[in-house]
Chain A
């Protein structure tokens, strides 16, 4: 049982380049999330998908787009990367039908924009 899997784990981009972070979960969860974590800032929610076919903005959505490809997969796209998007990105999932709606995280994707 892999849980939440993210790819790639490390990526270096030049300013203005685009890329997509991939995320898949095998826990049959309805909800999926993308966060970024910066030193001293804690976790900040970028986008979330409450269920397949829906997506909503979180706290810091500017510069990002998402796609809920199916129940398992939720991708995050940077259309024109900026140095301010250098961060660690975490994908997560949860099952709102279970008591507590606990959120489970992937191992993270380290992105550097130069």
Chain B
């Protein structure tokens, strides 16, 4: 699976949009981009995933560049409950259970 690079930390004001970048320059054609987050002492929570197109769900939006070498997770209106470590992961759907969680981005939402 391709390696990802994320900033170690990010602050965001409550109510504002949080834009989390991720670089994955070695991504292969069959690899998806997944975003998870982990709030302290809880299990990893799936947020969103995409292959080529931009995606949106009730939690967030995922913007993937045309060359697929980077992506941005957007939390449209951050709340204090969004404080967590966010992980960008690249993997093929066929790689059974293999999830390489890197260091992630520690997001702190402040009042």
Contacts and interface: CB of A to CB of B under 8 A. Distances in A.
Contact of B45 (A50, A58, A96, A105): A105
A42 B42 contact: no
Interface in A77-114: 90, 92, 94, 96, 99-108
A98 to B, nearest CB: 9
Contacts of A104: 46
On chain B, which size bracket covers the interface?
Answer: 10 to 19
B97 A96 contact: no
By secondary structure, the B interface counts as loop
Contacts of B43: 4, 90, 105-108
Contacts, number: 52
Interface residues of A, number: 25
A94 B46 CA distance: 11
Interface of B: 32, 34, 41-46, 49, 51, 93-94, 96-102
